[in-house]
Amino acid sequence: MNTLSIRDVRTILTAPEGIDLVVVKVETNEPSIYGLGCATFTQRSLAVQTAVDAYLKPFLIGKDPLCSEDIWQSAIVSAYWRNGPVLGNALSGVDMALWDIKGKVAGMPVYQLLGGKCREAAAVYRHADGKDKQAVLERVLALREEGYRYIRCQMGGYGGRGHVLHTPEGAQPGAYFDPAAYTRSVVRLFDFLRTHLGPDLELLHDTHERLMPVDALRLAKEMEPYHLFFLEDILPPEEIDWLRVIRNQCATPLALGELFNNPREWLPLVREQLIDYIRVHISQIGGLTPARKLAVLCESFGVKTAWHGPGDVSPIGHAANVHLDVASPNFGIQEWCGLSERLQEIFPGCPQVKDGYVYPNDQPGWGIDIDEAKALTHPCSHKLPQWTQARLPDGTAVRP
């Protein structure tokens, strides 16, 4: 084989389930060797596409794709300003693709390049939502029947639904919620669930950064009797200093990080052991290269991993999560949204779930491909989801 070099870099945008996904394909001078990476930033997919196609592509052409560390280090400062979500996702798509190439050249799955398996599969948690307590319970029971033992429980989506809202005339459109009513409903929900389910099933809840610090503290304390596996994203990044107060006053396990971009956001939380689980969005922080280093950092401080794994991550991103999961001694849990038949047709080789565990396949690289022709039949809409427009009852815009 000739010395490898990057011949082309391009983005593939697709939305098989109505969620805009961004995939980066890095091609080499060996036509059979190419890599795929996830660069999905659903709310700014066109910005990521431009960053890859107009800026990273000319930066990368001709480089050795096996030099992934040097490429990452030089690419992240190539714009001078860094640690933002658009460039982070763009770089992630490239970085994951280079690891895919590395695995294919070595003839090994990526987890072998990370030191090999610490476990055969990764335990996952699924989402159970419903319009009322009974509907949530029925969904939890159905998931338990399918073999899941870790279940995140919500009632009416982020911030809850069905609360009586007293809004002023002319209030702007948005995703309105009442923090006080939401907090009360969460406590009632978990009291109901524990009464019917007992103590053995691991239950989680995601506040999705919808609470002010004092309200977050109150909720964390009130949830102690229900022994959550963890309470997820209890504060937005702007309020993380309050974690010291919460940590000192309650024993509810905390997971945080899906909005993080800058290492300075997670470093104090890990170093001071203010969280139990780190759950960054791997494509947000720049790909596998920084994520594996973050996992090692967390291991030193007793913090476990729980990488972000929602529907707005491509199957390639989910595969990257799983490879890192099985190779990390301090793995905690993996969020899993489920991959539809349509997604699996477009992305052959997806990780498979059996009895509550997700398994990577043993093919070289990520072990996953993309059918570009089928992907193009599901174009992106580039519409902003309403849930990002959170508002209080009086119409005040708040930061989720």
Tokens of 88: 């982070």
pLDDT of residue 380: 95
Distance (Å, whole) CA 207 – CA 279? 14
The answer to whether 158 is a known catalytic residue is yes
Flag whether pLDDT at 97 surpasses 90: yes
Flag whether pLDDT at 161 surpasses 80: no
pLDDT in tens, 380-396: 999 888 888 889 988 99
Flag whether pLDDT at 213 surpasses 90: yes
pLDDT of residue 1: 58
Q: Which of 62-66, 172-176, 365-369, 378-382 has the lowest mean pLDDT?
A: 172-176
On average, the pLDDT of the chain sits at: 95
The percentage of the chain sitting over the pLDDT mark of 90, rounded to a whole number, equals: 89
**150 φψ region: left (φ > 0), alpha (ψ -120 to 50), beta (else):** beta
pLDDT in tens, 188-201: 999 999 999 999 99
Q: Which member of 34, 111, 148, 158 is catalytic?
A: 158
Q: Whole-prediction pTM value?
A: 0.95
Flag whether pLDDT at 343 surpasses 80: yes
- 50 CB neighbour count, 10 Å cutoff: 14
The better pLDDT of the pair 56, 399 is held by 56
Q: Which of 84-98, 148-162, 321-335 has the lowest mean pLDDT?
A: 148-162
pLDDT of residue 388: 87
Q: Which member of 208, 308, 318, 323 is catalytic?
A: 208
Q: Which residues of 107-131 are buried (b: 16+ CB within 10 A; e: fewer)?
A: ebbbbbbbeeeeeebbbbbbbbebe
pLDDT of residue 157: 83
Mean pLDDT of 83-107: 97
Domains and CATH numbers, the chain: 6-108 (3.30.390.10), 112-364 (3.20.20.120)
Q: What one-character-per-residue DSSP string does 258-289 give?
A: TT--SHHHHHHHHHTT--SEE---TTTTTSHH
The answer to whether 208 is a known catalytic residue is yes
How buried is residue 358: exposed, middle or buried, by Cβ count under 10 Å (0-12/13-18/19+)? buried
Flag whether pLDDT at 368 surpasses 80: yes
Nearest residue to 40 via CA among 308, 252, 270, 355: 308
Mean pLDDT of 89-107: 98
Question: How far is the CA of 118 from the CAs of 48, 222, 332, 377, in angstroms?
Answer: 34, 36, 12, 39
pLDDT of residue 386: 82
Distance (Å, whole) CA 204 – CA 98? 34
Tokens of 395: 């119409």
pLDDT in tens, 41-58: 999 999 999 999 999 999
Q: Scanning the structure block, which residue is given the tokens 């030191």?
A: 115
Flag whether pLDDT at 223 surpasses 80: yes
